[in-house]
Amino acid sequence: MHMKIVCAGMHRSGSTWLFNVVRVIFMENKATIYSCFANKYDPENDAPFHIVKAHQFKQNIRDGANCIFTTCRDLRDVAASAVRRNLVENTPESVERYLKEIVEREYEPWHRVSNYEVKYEEMYQQKPIVISKIAKKLGVYADPVKVAKTVESLSIPSDPGGFDETTQLHYNHITNGIPNNYSITLSKGVIATINLKFSPWLKRKGYIK
């Protein structure tokens, strides 16, 4: 038997940081781990701890999970990050379509089965506190400051197209991680569209009143 931990979240919401925090926590405890992205997951791997990163909800990844961690981020910052990564055009129509898809396929299904949701803003501003909570949920000890420093020191591929299978970090992975900084990237029309079309979601998550 193994313990299966899923780190899930919509694109550009901090799920890679979460995934690496869980990895490092177990590594600090000298545990043997098997970690991968959902599309490469092998449930038969004999490592005692399986750590799986996911975006789109998949029932086979959810099945058998002992702990599901999820991420959440202001959709305006998600959109700005996606625009900077050239994942979507900076137009109201493109951004609305992009956000609708990731909320429906990557956020809501995982949110419904989440054991602990981490807000991106908390990751950014309160890393040790968040890491302590994650370790507690996993039932293991971890030095939160040490774990935070280890994760922050992970190398991001410097070559265009570069990707690290172990850390799930890719070239230009972090663009501008400052919360509530979307107005620098997004047009006023895009921001207005997000505020209108996704008002219930943003209010529910406390991003607008």
Work out the pLDDT band at 124, boundaries 50, 70, 90.
very high
166-197 confidence digits (pLDDT tens): 999 987 666 767 899 999 999 999 999 999 99
**Per-residue pLDDT for 101 more than 90?**
yes
- Give Cα separations from 68 to 131, 140, 188, 203 (angstroms): 15, 16, 36, 24
**Contact status, residue 183 vs residue 88, Cβ threshold 8 Å:** no
DSSP string, the chain: --EEEEEE--TTSSHHHHHHHHHHHHHHTT--EEEEEGGG--TT---SEEEEEESS--HHHHTT-SEEEEEE--HHHHHHHHHHTTSS-SSHHHHHHHHHHHIIIIIHHHHTT-SEEEEHHHHHH-HHHHHHHHHHHHT----HHHHHHHHHTPPPP-STT-B-TTT--BTT--S---TT-GGGTS-HHHHHHHHHHTHHHHHHTTS--
Predicted pLDDT of residue 67 = 98
**Per-residue pLDDT for 128 more than 90?**
yes
User: Distance (Å, rounded) from C-alpha 87 to C-alpha 185?
Assistant: 13
Q: What is the pTM of this model?
A: 0.95
69-100 confidence digits (pLDDT tens): 999 999 999 999 999 999 999 999 999 999 99
List beta partners, residue 49. Answer: 3, 33
67-76 confidence digits (pLDDT tens): 999 999 999 9
Predicted pLDDT of residue 102 = 97
**Per-residue pLDDT for 125 more than 80?**
yes
Predicted pLDDT of residue 173 = 63
Identity of the amino acid at 208: I
User: Distance (Å, rounded) from C-alpha 89 to C-alpha 123?
Assistant: 27
All structural domains of the chain, each given as residue ranges with its CATH number in brackets, are: 3-204 (3.40.50.300)
- The per-residue pLDDT of the chain, averaged, comes to 95
For the segment 136-145, the average pLDDT, to the nearest whole number, is 96
- Give Cα separations from 18 to 6, 23, 54, 107, 177 (angstroms): 10, 9, 11, 15, 14
